[in-house]
Structure formats: C-alpha cells, structure tokens
Amino acid sequence: MNNNVHSEAADRLFDAILTLKDREECYRFFEDICTVNELLSFIQRYEVALMLRRGLTYLEIAELTGASTATISRVNRAINTGNGSYDMSLRRLGLLAGEEKHG
C-alpha cells in the first residue's frame, strides 16, 4: 500500500465510517479497526485540541491528559496551520465558547 492518504482505499474506509449510525457502532468499529493504544492516542489528541482551544497551557494539558509536550505541540500546529478540522468538529459539537451543539 502506498503512503498517499487520498486514495480509493481511504475513500472506502471513510465511507465505512460515514455509515456508522450511533456512538455504540463507533465504539465497536474503532475497537475492531484500531489497537487500544491507537484509539487512546486519537482520543488524547482530540482532548488536547479542546484544551488548547479553551486556553489551557501545555503544562496544564500535560498534567490532565498525560500527553507529551511533543504531542501537544503537534496538535497545536495542526490547529494553527492544518485543515481546520479540529475547530470545525469542536464547533459542531458546541464545545467552543459561543457555539451551539447541532442535532
């Protein structure tokens, strides 16, 4: 398999994720497709993003999540120079100040 993220294989995976109907199906799918540590890393990065957007310091985030400063820095870089997906999803969930949860 090549390293190109944008591929037919990736499309199939994302299409499969988009078929998931509820949180329980998400748990089952991701517990099957990821190792526990991979899934915990995803969860940790998302929590780090939320805490960064809420203004917590690297030290506070590291203490609360156990994330390394390298991970916090990587997430911060994605927030500041990435595709905007962290902010988009945090807004949609109503987790950023002044935003309301949809659905």
State the amino acid at position 54 in one-letter form: R
**pLDDT at 1 > cutoff 70:** no
Q: What angle do CA 53, 80, 87 make, to 5 degrees?
A: 45
Q: What is the pLDDT of residues 47-87, one digit of tens each?
A: 999 999 999 999 999 999 999 999 999 999 999 999 999 99
Sign of the Cα torsion 80, 85, 88, 91 reads: negative
pTM (two decimals): 0.87
